[in-house]
Amino acid sequence: MPIPEQRVLVTGGSGFIAGHCILQLLEQGYLVHATVRSLKREPAVRAALTDAGMTRGERLSFVAADLRSDAGWADAMSGCDFVLHVASPLHTGKVKNEQDVISPAREGTLRVLRAARDAGVKRVAMTSAFHAVGFGHKHTDRTFTEDDWSVLDGPGVDAYGRSKILAERDAWDFAASQGGAMELVTLLPVAVMGPVLGTQISGASHIVQRSLNGDMPGYPNMWVPIVDVRDVAQAHVAAMTSPTAAGQRILLASGPALSMHQIGSILRSHLGDAAHRVPTRTIPDMVVRLAAVFSAEFRPVAADLNYVKKVSDDRARRVLDWQPRSTEEAIISSARSMLAKKLIKS
């Protein structure tokens, strides 16, 4: 158990991964500061965490801070031993101006790291993403490891992917040249699913929601590596204090990638009538590639059709003693939480 007075700052406290980090930190006895862009969001965030089973909520406080401004970050860091930097703009597909995604991620990362260094924070555990590792490459029979970096201008790399690549590179450069005694570790989860918080559906959980709602006419021949959000949070908490985690990139994946059709089959086999809208048809590759010519939304899919990405989780298991849930559990817990909260069409 941690020392009761140890404090952790979690950035982006209203987010999916951040919320699960907060739940686990409180359960383990830490004092937690969480940033939100406006304190008006605190009641909704507290309600979502309470609904998810939050314990020791009196040890959680909120601070207003935005990645785009210096205001609030010194107060947020005050007295903190560790920082989980989870906040990042999330926009997938086409955006009008890529810098609206990339600049806040890069500037915000450096803003957080500077404030953490100046406040004497021991270690920052930063959420990067598999987008910074496994995208834009030629399709070869390889296993991605932490030594790999995505190709910045490669096929299928969108503004969000570029923001993750550049922000993580900036973080490592800062740690090496200006970080002083502060340590850095980055966590790189693949597609994140698991129990939703409140009514917010984030990340790869949209695949589950759209499947259950019947919003897709069929599935493309696309494969998705998946990890449970609870295991992502557990890895973040472990990365704060693991003696050998400092200076490491750590990939997080629950198991082999699944095809979209396999995800649909899991939903149908576990949920019965609730999965009656889940598609069974296949969208031909030619149709997906044609759609990608006219719509940026389809370009990342078209770039990786029929490509099964293998991901090593050896470092997470070795350095963090990480034992993730099954991919199937991540999918089903995501679906059941949406059904329980009536976030799926009746």
Averages of pLDDT over runs of 10 residues in the chain (346 residues) are 78 96 97 96 97 96 95 95 89 70 93 97 98 95 97 91 96 98 98 95 92 95 97 98 97 96 97 96 94 85 94 98 97 97 93
CATH 3.30.60.50 assigned to 7-340: no
This prediction's pTM: 0.95
Q: What pLDDT sits at residue 97?
A: 83
Q: Which one, of 104, 113, 91, lies nearest residue 186 by Cα?
A: 113
What residues are labeled active site?
A: 164
Torsion of CA 253, 257, 260, 263, to 10 degrees: -60
Q: What pLDDT sits at residue 296?
A: 78
Helix (H) or strand (E) holding 288: helix 285-294
279: how many CB neighbours lie within 10 A of its CB? 17
As beta bridge partners, residue 60 has 32
Q: What pLDDT sits at residue 90?
A: 62
Q: CB of 286 within 8 A of CB of 250?
A: no
Q: What pLDDT sits at residue 100?
A: 85
Quote the CA–CA distance of 335 and 209 in Å, as a whole number: 7
Q: What pLDDT sits at residue 86?
A: 96
Q: What pLDDT sits at residue 1?
A: 54
Q: What pLDDT sits at residue 92?
A: 52
